[in-house]
Amino acid sequence: MSGDQQPGTHQEPVGGHAGGTISSSPNTPSPKGGFGRMLVIVLVGLSGVAAAWLGWTLGSRGAPGDTSGQELPFASIVLPVLDGERDGPGLHPGEISVLDFWATWCAPCRVQAKILDEVAADFAPRGVNFFAIDVGEPADLVRESVQDDPYPYPVLLDETGDLSAEFGIYMLPTVVVVAADGKVALSKPGITGRTQLTNLLNELLSEPDVRATGETDDA
């Protein structure tokens, strides 16, 4: 919060809500008994919880819409890994990959990471690849963040954020699931639940490899 308070204007910070203020005009009567003020604070707090659950937007980037089923080049992504190697779906053609776009400052991303930890424990042994793609941060900052709470799968670095912008990532976290045929099976901004991911990955793993055989089981 910045600047001096303007004469005749009351500003009250809302705890835990960055930049949040409640302003009232000198001509507007204050709610009696504090009930009105309490109601406003509760509503603002609920909206903050909703924002935390849905995720944080990245600047003014527009929403890409539903990309599921499209042959977007998510399957070609190869980025530096935090340990200096390179990895990504582009090095695992014909395999299912789960991409988690995140950042160290993003509180909902921690919730998503815990969910993906559990999902990865079930599906990584079955051949599904998991990648955590940090957006727009230097390696040193990311390394410091994951030291105490490391990811069980590779952390990739999009340090400039250019690749994420190119792929229409406008909110963190965003989870993208790339099917074995390279198509996007899921692209979801905000937190993606364990049940949805589990059901989708089971479905993808049950599909025949049409590229390897040239035909489906029904042909």
**Contact call for residues 172 and 56 (beta carbons, < 8 A):** yes
Q: pLDDT band for 8, please (50, 70, 90 cuts).
A: very low
Q: Is the peptide bond before 173 cis (omega within 30 degrees of 0)?
A: yes
Question: Whole-number mean pLDDT of the chain?
Answer: 75
Span 34-63, average pLDDT: 44
- Residue identified by tokens 């921690």 is 110
pLDDT of residue 191 exceeding 80, the answer is yes
State if pTM tops 0.75: no
Q: Which two tokens stand for residue 152?
A: 């069980």
Alpha helices in 128-193 (DSSP H): 139-147, 162-166
Where are the domains positioned within the chain? 10-54, 73-208
Residue 138, burial from CB neighbour count under 10 angstroms (0-12, 13-18, 19+): exposed
The predicted-structure confidence for 194-213, as pLDDT tens digits, reads as follows 999 999 999 999 987 634 43
The predicted-structure confidence for 129-184, as pLDDT tens digits, reads as follows 999 999 999 999 999 999 988 999 999 999 999 999 999 999 999 999 999 999 99
DSSP 3-state of 100 = strand
pLDDT of amino acid 124: 98
pLDDT of residue 14 exceeding 50, the answer is no
DSSP 3-state of 135 = strand
Question: What is the dotted CATH code of the domain comprising 73-208?
Answer: 3.40.30.10
Q: When comparing pLDDT for 8 and 77, which is higher? A: 77
The predicted-structure confidence for 20-38, as pLDDT tens digits, reads as follows 332 333 444 444 445 444 4
Q: Residue 23's beta-bridge partner residues?
A: 11
Between the alpha carbon of residue 149 and those of residues 104, 124, 143, 144, 152, the distances in Å are 11, 19, 10, 10, 9
